[in-house]
Structures are given as structure tokens and as C-alpha cells.
Homo-oligomer: A and B are copies of this chain.
Amino acid sequence: VGQKPEDCMNQDSAVIAAFKVFQQELDTKHDKYERLVKSSRDITIESKRTIFLLHRVTSVPDVEEILTEADVKLDSVRQKIGQIAEELRGEDLHQFHRAITPGIQEYVEAVSFHHFIRHRTLISLEEINARLVFMRENKAVDEVTCPGPCVLTFQITPTDYLLGVADLTGELMRMCISSVGNGDMDTPFLLGGFLREIHDGFSFIGNTGPYEVSKKLHTLRQSLGKVEDACYTLRVRGSEIPKHMLADVFSSRAAHLDPDDAMP
């Protein structure tokens, strides 16, 4: 029994040698995980700031300017996602998924918000992933496997996409309320329809999706309620316009109201 210290000194035993390998393997993995967490946090912050920037579109005349500025910000986020892709080159994405999922979801939220403002449609997962293709200078090491400039891609998972879109609905609700406040009469109805489509989409998926999705459904439903209430209020008060004023009001503040969309 007293000899144990000596046994353990047997540093060149096969067991010890094997565990030295394990040590390195585990440390490497852990370090990588940690680097990914940090990247993810950076992505979250920058995406959130992009969303704040995009909300300014309801109050400024030049929407395009903001969209461009937001795109520049998103480009820098994509660069960071590129770093993640680099980090995950040859790895199993799912092994490190928990480290990066918060950032990725926030990016989906930001990029889909940007897309909605520009195109008034829901960006597809393919469209998002199509912009996550990165050219990389080749490292001498893997020249064999990948000659010339190397193409690196990052594939957002459908679940992260879904979770990002769920959060998007909160931003759309905020945009809707702001629009009403800014006297914009058609955006609310447009948002109402779009949000209802997303809501119906989520209820079509129901509880077949992952648990995190179901958790966000309640908030989604609340947002939809707020938007529907806003549309309702616009309609109700619109019903009251005295006949003699109708022309005035229409010309002064609802010139671009699309009768097809807004009138039932």
C-alpha cells in the first residue's frame, strides 16, 4: 500500500500515455467551445444593434440609407459567422451547437427583419444560408484536400431558423405599433397579415417542433394579438370619418393606403 506514489510515477505506462492524449483532446475541445461562445456573444450584440437600427426606418424619410447601413453591420456579423465556420471546419456542427445557437438565432432575427423591410416577405432558410459562403485563403496544410481558394460554408439549422423567426415576430409587432404612432395607415395591416401567416405557420408545426419553439409560441400569440388590436383600432376609427372630411384626411395622411389590401 505504501508503494502507491511509486506506482503513479510510472509516467510512461500505457495508461498514463493514453490519458495524456485524452487530456489534450478534451482541452482542445473545451478551448474551441469557449472561443465559439465568445464569437456567439459578439454576434448576438451586433445583431441586436442592427435590429435597433432597423427600427429607425419607421421614423426617417430615407429607408434605403438605413437598410444599407444595416447591411454593412450584417456583413460584419457574417464575417464573424465566417470565423465560426473556420473554427468548425471539419467538425460536427452539432457537437458545438449549444455554444453558438444564441448568436445564430439572433442573426436570423436580424437578417429576416432586414429582408422583411426591404422585400415584405419572409426570407427563406436557403436565402440566409446562401449568404454564409466564405472564401478562404488556403492554409498550406490542407492544400491537398482543397486546392485553390477554399470555399467554406455555414449551414444554419432549420430549428435555429425557426427560433429566429419566432423572435422576429416580436420585432414586427414593435414596428407595427410604431407605424400607427407615426400615422402610417397601411404598414399595420400589412404586418397584421404577415404576422398572421407566420402564426398560422407555427400553429401548423404545433408541438412537432423542438421544445424551445413551443416555449416561444405564447409570446408570438401575444404579439399577434397586439397587432390585430392595432389594426382593429385603425379600422374602427376610420369608420368615423365625417363625410365632409373624407377627402381631406385621405389626401393628407393616407395617400398611399392601398384600397385592395386595407378595405375588406
Majority-rule SS of A interface residues: helix
Contacts of A9 in B (CB 8 A): 60-61
Q: A2-B183, A183-B1 are contacts. A45–B41 as well, Cβ < 8 Å? A: no
A13 on the interface (CB 8 Å rule)?
A: no
A37 at the binding interface (Cβ < 8 Å): yes
Residue pair A34, B30 in contact (C-beta under 8 Å): no
Interface residue A182 (Cβ < 8 Å from any Cβ of B):
yes
B residues near A34, Cβ cutoff 8 Å: 41-42, 45
Establish whether residues B60 and A253, one from each chain, have CB atoms under 8 Å apart when the complex forms.
Answer: no
A259 within 8 A of B: no
A residues 180-218 near B (Cβ < 8 Å) are: 182-183
Q: How far is the CB of A245 from chain B (nearest CB, A)?
A: 13
User: What's the minimum C-beta distance from A187 to chain B, rounded to whole angstroms?
Assistant: 13
Specify the chain B residue showing the minimal Cβ separation from A52: B23
**Do A4 and B183 have beta carbons less than 8 Å apart?**
yes
CB neighbors of B among A240-259 (8 A): 252-253
Tell me if A21 is interfacial: C-beta within 8 Å of chain B: no
Q: Does A222 contact B (CB under 8 A)?
A: no
Return the chain B residue nearest A49 by Cβ.
B27
B5 A59 Cβ-Cβ under 8 A: yes
Would A253 and B38 be within 8 Å (CB), given that A9-B61, A59-B8, A61-B9 are in contact?
Answer: no
A residues touching B (Cβ–Cβ < 8 Å)?
1-2, 4-6, 8-9, 30, 34, 37-38, 41-42, 45, 59-61, 182-183, 252-253
6 sampled A-B residue pairs with Cβ under 8 A: A2-B183, A2-B253, A5-B61, A8-B60, A34-B45, A38-B41
